Amino acid sequence: MGVVFRPDCLFDEFCLYAKTIFLKPLNDTKRKHFCMGEFSKISWTDHTFNAWIGCTKVSPGCRFCYAEEFANKYNFAKWGTAPRYLTADSTWAKPLAWNKRAEKEKIRYRVFCSSLSDVMEDNPEVEQWRKRLFELILQTPHLDWLLLTKRSDNYWKFFPENWLCNFPKNIWIGYTICTQKEYDEHYAHFRDFQIFTKASISFISFEPLLQPIILKLGAPDWSIIGGESGFLKNAREMNLAWVKSLIGQIQAMNDKKHHIFFKQMGSHLAKKLNMQDKKGETGIDKLPPAYDWLQLREIPKVEIKEEQKTLSLF
């Protein structure tokens, strides 16, 4: 079954679907088949891939983690020090099929990895799985892999050393930033990694955006901005003044290399604005003209014109 994982807190419509099929936690057999994603409904990617499930909270943005809630509810994996769950071979086979399709259609698919884990988690249990993921990335040159982490400092540690001077052109490096402190402490390190490796695209997910952020050290190639979704009692409200400031700073750089993707309002603003979508993602174009400035859905494109020298993990 081609079930799609969406990085929204407790994505209501998906949970409703899951409840109609599984009225109790999944057993091992159902869990293996359930971990397959085909076309993603995440608006900034084409596909979602999870090599494993499970993580440890390291950021203020993790407080109401949608992935933890989902995994606990359907008995996938526990967060923290509990064992991680390796997804099924059928899941690992999906990118190979997407790659064939992309080559045939002469297009590039974006693959978000990972929505239910962190590929740069410093955990010995996932070390071999991460190497297997890197091998899969090398086997799928027609896919652009969007690696998003809350541990960007670990890019230097976990990518194969021989990649640093010949970085795969189909990897986009991403980092989640929710607060000024996270930006101040880690952005320079993240930026320097792209400069050193010449990674094709760097992107930051400012989601959930929890406070105003001053981009005093610059901005990545691509900025994704959004408020927190989920139950109103948990979700923290985003102030549109923070969004306007962030967008203004990026646009003031007057550089065509910088792209902005406003993803969603978040639960509180969606309710205040009477939006049908509880996350405030769809329907922004139907809001009054005063909100037209939020209709930014820019996505960078990378053209790989020449074959890259054959890479290996060692």
Report pLDDT digits (tens) over 135-185. Answer: 999 999 999 999 999 999 999 999 999 999 999 999 999 999 999 999 999
Range of the domain at 12: 1-150
Q: Identify whether residues 187 and 289 lie together within a single domain.
A: yes
Question: Which of 97, 132, 150 is at the close of a domain?
Answer: 150
If one compares 106 and 302, the residue with the highest pLDDT of the two is 106
Q: What does each C-alpha distance from 301 to 6, 10, 118, 143, 249 come to in angstroms?
A: 23, 31, 24, 12, 22
Residue 31 lies in a domain: yes
Instruction: Give yes or no for a contact between 261 and 201, defined as CB atoms under 8 angstroms apart.
Output: no
pLDDT at site 39: 60
pLDDT at site 1: 31
Residue 283 lies in a domain: yes
Q: Identify whether residues 245 and 145 lie together within a single domain.
A: no
Q: Identify whether residues 128 and 8 lie together within a single domain.
A: yes
Instruction: Give yes or no for a contact between 196 and 163, defined as CB atoms under 8 angstroms apart.
Output: no
Question: Which of 109, 127, 150 is at the close of a domain?
Answer: 150
Residue 162 lies in a domain: no
Instruction: Give yes or no for a contact between 9 and 66, defined as CB atoms under 8 angstroms apart.
Output: yes
If one compares 217 and 309, the residue with the highest pLDDT of the two is 217
Q: Identify whether residues 192 and 73 lie together within a single domain.
A: no
pLDDT band at 300 (very low <50, low <70, confident <90, very high): very high
pLDDT at site 309: 60
Residue 137 lies in a domain: yes
Q: Distance between CA atoms of 291 and 264, rounded to whole angstroms?
A: 12
pLDDT at site 174: 98
Report pLDDT digits (tens) over 234-293. Answer: 999 999 999 999 999 999 997 778 999 999 999 999 999 999 999 999 999 999 999 999
Residue 310 lies in a domain: no
pLDDT at site 289: 97
Q: Identify whether residues 127 and 192 lie together within a single domain.
A: no
Residue 175 lies in a domain: no
Q: Identify whether residues 17 and 126 lie together within a single domain.
A: yes
The answer to pTM > 0.75 is yes
Mean pLDDT on 283-309 = 88
Q: Identify whether residues 193 and 265 lie together within a single domain.
A: yes
Mean pLDDT on 50-54 = 93
pLDDT band at 7 (very low <50, low <70, confident <90, very high): very low
Report pLDDT digits (tens) over 199-248. Answer: 999 999 999 999 999 999 999 999 999 999 988 989 999 999 999 999 99
- Mean model confidence pLDDT for the chain: 86
Question: Which of 150, 173, 195 is at the close of a domain?
Answer: 150
Number of domains in the chain: 2
Phi and psi of 98, rounded to 5°? -60, -40
Strands of the 109-113 sheet, one edge to the other: 47-48, 109-113, 143-149, 171-176, 201-206, 222-226, 259-264
Residue 122 lies in a domain: yes
Strands annotated E in 63-190: 85-86, 109-113, 143-149, 171-176
Instruction: Give yes or no for a contact between 124 and 92, defined as CB atoms under 8 angstroms apart.
Output: no
